[in-house]
Amino acid sequence: MDGLLDTVAGQRDALDQGDVSSRDLVQRSLDRARDTEGLGLVVGTRSEVALQEADAADARRRAGDGRGALDGVPVLIKDNMVQLGEPAQCASRILERFVSPYDGAMAERLGAAGAVIVGRTNMDEFAMGSSTENSIHGAAHNPWDRTRACGGSSGGAAGAVAASVVGAALGSDTGGSIRQPASFCGVTGIKPTYGRVSRWGLVAFASSLDQIGPFAHTARDCALILEAIAGHDRRDSTSLPEPSPSLASGLTGDVSGLVVGLPREYFELEGADPAVIASVREAVAELERAGAKVREVSLPHTKYGIAAYYLLATAEASSNLARYDGVRYGRRVPSDDLDSMYRNTRSEGFGAEVKRRIVLGTYVLSAGYYDAYYRKAQQVRTLLRRDFDEAFSECDVIATPTSPETAFVLGEKSSDPLKMYLSDVYTVTAPLAGIPGISLPCGDVGGLPVGLQLLGPPLGEATILRVADAYQRLTDHHDRRPGATS
């Protein structure tokens, strides 16, 4: 690619120096989106409006009236985020032809910072999946090897950043849907603390877990985007009262004295690829050489994470997805009576994985099973939170692999839902505990990227971003770009 022009910071500098216009950048993103069409990463572009917005950004800049860090920078959002007058389909047949009547908070805030939303990215239907294969648009292909998955559910966003379509894209993370695709695609992605970013305008999947965050090549770029979208929003009742944190200014590169915890349960996991584990250990050694201290910590309830997660997430999803009934928006299958209309609409509108999760969620909430499944999972959630509280009393950040493996081959797990669920083993615990986590590239195995996950205590975004940025100053994994881009 043309030098540093696929990072947000690089694009901003080039804009500031007048080397490039926002129109150039937006046009280039639209061209890249078209050239990489075969990878199934971008599911819709708003070319005309985006170019108009780029022109407006260029005019502001000429008038000395720029909006700040992101003014004129092209970005993509996930297909489960709404923007006035634009489709938001959640990769589902049931939201075919839906056009949003309002702006989501993420679109509003990106717009206020001057960013130009150029389109929407592919995902697993309603964010349910770990591979971006459960999509009405077809599977997303990994730019490092098109026979492999991008991860999911925000696979299109991760892949689009990897393939340099844009410098940054927004994803959402419920059980790992930002961090795992970041790992598979060799980009950086952060899931903020629960409540940090407003979800007004994010289509709900599991409301006690969902959180929005950015993908970019670098931790610095993630910090710039997160600063723009974080902060209290009264329209989201789970939004934290804290104002948007200052993040980019805290990227000092200094990790001396910082304590990195290595949870033994994560490194002893049966079935994890030893080459992935070795790569993550080497990344930790790099931080140690830079002055960080490393100590082992324990998260004893880790092995219950997946079970608790899938019980809670499906229960919440079964309730949230009750709204797709063919009445107010989306697809309707005309039927003689109301009940048949609900059933026909939902049965034709939802894909297999979504139906499976709705039925599982309905089952675990139903009379006779509530205590054994749902309440039990909520209690285990308390134990998992306590594990992290305990661990963070002994360390500043926790380092783990993001995924037990590198990108798997498309189709490899799609016939076995449980096998697919198990690939989220390292990522489901952070949303259960509400804590922030970031994945960044730390090496490769057989030409495929490996992700290092750094977890922080609640509201600890500044710390994990500082460590991630410090690591990226010492290494160049984040500078590598994939070859297969069409």
Partner 1 sequence: MSKISPEEVEYTARLARLSLSEEETAAMARDLDKILDYVAALQSLDTTGIEPTSHPIPVPTPLRADEAAEPLDPALALSNAPQTDGTAFVVPKVIGTGEES
245 DSSP 8-state letter: P
Across-strand partners of 296?
A: 262
Query: Binders of partner 1 among 175-234, rule CB under 8 A?
Result: 193-195, 208-209, 234
String marking each residue 240-259 x if it binds partner 1 according to CB under 8 A: xx------------------
Kindly name the residue from 21, 22, 78, 318 that is annotated as catalytic: 78
Pick the closer one to partner 1 by CB: 83 or 218.
Answer: 83
Pick the closer one to partner 1 by CB: 155 or 431.
Answer: 431
370 binds partner 1 (CB under 8 A): no
Query: Binders of partner 1 among 337-356, rule CB under 8 A?
Result: 337-344, 346-347, 350, 352, 355-356
Q: Is 13 exposed, middle or buried (0-12, 13-18, 19+ CB in 10 A)?
A: middle
Query: Binders of partner 1 among 274-333, rule CB under 8 A?
Result: 301, 303-304, 306-308, 310-311, 318, 322, 325-332
Pick the closer one to partner 1 by CB: 267 or 363.
Answer: 363
Across-strand partners of 438?
A: 190, 454
Pick the closer one to partner 1 by CB: 18 or 334.
Answer: 334
Question: Which of residues 144, 215, 266, 373 is near partner 1 by CB under 8 A?
Answer: 373
93 binds partner 1 (CB under 8 A): no
Spatial strand order in the sheet of 74-78: 42-45, 116-121, 74-78, 168-173, 211-216, 188-191, 437-445, 448-455, 397-401, 259-263, 293-297
Alpha helix positions (H), 113-199? 155-162, 179-185
Q: Give the Cα separation of 477 and 450 in Å (integer).
A: 9
102 binds partner 1 (CB under 8 A): yes
Q: Which stretch in 6-14, 99-107, 156-164, 393-401 sits in contact with partner 1 by CB under 8 A?
A: 99-107
Pick the closer one to partner 1 by CB: 62 or 323.
Answer: 323
Q: Active-site residue 191, yes or no? A: no
475 binds partner 1 (CB under 8 A): no
- Provide the CB-side half-sphere exposure for 148 (13 A, CA): 22
Alpha helix positions (H), 113-216? 155-162, 179-185
| Tokens 């033994």 sit on residue | 264
Instruction: Give residues with Cβ within 8 angstroms of 82, minimum separation 6.
Output: 88, 100, 102, 103, 104, 107, 201, 202, 203
Pick the closer one to partner 1 by CB: 96 or 296.
Answer: 96
Backbone angles phi, psi at 153, to 5 degrees: -90, -10
Kindly name the residue from 177, 183, 239, 439 that is annotated as catalytic: 177
Question: Number of residues in contact with partner 1, rule: CB under 8 A?
Answer: 77
String marking each residue 413-452 x if it binds partner 1 according to CB under 8 A: ----xx--x---------xxxxx-----------------
389 binds partner 1 (CB under 8 A): no
Q: Active-site residue 244, yes or no? A: no
The one-letter amino acid code at 101 reads P
Shortest distance in whole angstroms from residue 356 CB to partner 1: 6
269 binds partner 1 (CB under 8 A): no
Shortest distance in whole angstroms from residue 337 CB to partner 1: 4
358 binds partner 1 (CB under 8 A): yes
**Omega before 92 cis (within 30°)?**
no
The one-letter amino acid code at 336 reads D
Q: Active-site residue 376, yes or no? A: no
Kindly name the residue from 92, 135, 153, 198 that is annotated as catalytic: 153
CB 405 within 8 A of CB 276: yes
The candidate with the shortest Cα–Cα distance to 211, out of 80, 76, 49, is 80
What does the block give as tokens for 284?
A: 């930790």
Q: Which stretch in 15-23, 138-146, 265-273, 371-379 sits in contact with partner 1 by CB under 8 A?
A: 371-379
Active-site residue numbers?
78, 153, 177
